[in-house]
Structure 1
């Protein structure tokens, strides 16, 4: 089961797992502002994450231990910080800011953690990469809220 989940999460820009806790994954066409917010957060954080990765240039686990066989092919960029974790935790922070009363919003943090752990199980990251991705999302979230404030308001109107 986890292998299929890991494969589905190869691209962090697929919002499916992030929509499920909100109960709208099957009704995406009815929530264009919400989908737009998720995609915008994923795109912004993807770019920022690559800049941060370039500063640290941490090798992937199998570069340090060639006996490790990653479940997925190694991406061409470094391991630290986990971009998947950064992106998913950023979505969780955004939704917990704009719809804190919706029970599924807090579940987004569990999805983000699971996504980061899946990358660890796949042999692509260390646990510290996931933790650092979470920390970066927490630090970056005020800037993200400012940049996405109109999209967050539109998603809020749509979900209430």
Structure 2
């Protein structure tokens, strides 16, 4: 999660020769490596085509987002609505993480070692990890081919759930205080700077799954309630959830999260979304955002009605 100091916002001592080569290319300004990093704009379902309408390495400090823009007040109001009125602390239950010397934790650490020694897959993961340290919302924008200009209310909903995910995840991080994998095993060399806050649950996993939940909800409702003949609509749910899972997993590949952190974040996102979707004021925003998708599938990429 990128908030204030960011959850790992600088390259650390990398593991694996391939990843190290990319680090050298990025730091030296090598144009080919910069191009692979996706610096620039564009749509597409991959990571290299530009991860956001604002660029994949934005400087804005809000968690998981590129730019909140003029509607930041709305996100703040809805954020407070969630925190003050949904009784989330009495409704959501996040179990304690496995103990540091448990078989589960030791298995997770062994899995991290295996990932960091995977010279075939690690270089590609490294590019994603670096981009997602700053922002990952653009990945979802590319899957559905939208942004804050084409679907401003959808972008509002996404921005709101990302900030809520940050708040709630931080609450449980503070509650449990789980140390990072490299604290238990100093031989682990994370690919990014280790975040200063606790490990469990994973904030990236929480936020990314919340984005997938929100967008899947908008599209599913549209598909069922408006025009089922657009069969391609349903096909987007799978890549949305796959993208969320990969964002979470990439934090394991970075060496800063256990697999149990990732799973806890996914479960937490589901609980948060249930409360969001059942709140009257959020339902208003959800309904407004759904109208944007009705227009999209009515006119495709044309703005005017037919």
Structure-2-length-normalised TM-score: 0.49
Aligned pairs, number = 157
Look up the SS of the partner of 1:9 in the other structure.
helix
Q: Which residue of 2 aligns with 1:22?
A: 144
Q: Which residue of 2 aligns with 1:135?
A: 267
**Structure 1 position 92, deviation (Å):** 1.5
User: Larger Rg: 1 or 2?
Assistant: 2
Within the alignment, does 1:82 sit opposite 2:198 as a pair?
A: no
Structure 1 runs of 4+ aligned residues shifted over 3 Å read: none
The 10-residue stretch of structure 1 (100-109 or 119-128) with the greater mean CA deviation from structure 2 = 100-109
The partner residue of 1:106 within 210, 222, 238 is 238
Any unmatched runs of 5+ in structure 2?
1-123, 224-232, 295-306
Any unmatched runs of 5+ in structure 1?
none
What is the CA RMSD across the aligned residues, in angstroms?
1.5
Q: Which residue of 2 aligns with 1:47?
A: 167
Alpha-carbon distance between aligned partners in 2 of 1:106 and 1:43, rounded to the nearest angstrom: 24
- What are the within-5 Å matches in structure 2 for residues 51-70 of structure 1? 51-70=171-190
Alpha-carbon distance between aligned partners in 1 of 2:218 and 2:129, rounded to the nearest angstrom: 28
Within the alignment, does 1:2 sit opposite 2:122 as a pair?
A: no
**Higher relative contact order at CA 8 Å, sep ≥6: structure 1 or structure 2?**
1
C-alpha contact 1:79 1:124 (8 A) present in aligned 2: yes
**Structure 1 position 32, deviation (Å):** 0.8
Structure-1-length-normalised TM-score: 0.91
| Residues 19-55 of structure 1: per-residue CA shift (max 9 Å, x gap) | 122122xx54121111111111101111111001111
**Structure 1 position 57, deviation (Å):** 0.7
**Structure 1 position 123, deviation (Å):** 0.4
Alpha-carbon distance between aligned partners in 2 of 1:155 and 1:10, rounded to the nearest angstrom: 27
Q: Which residue of 2 aligns with 1:11?
A: 134
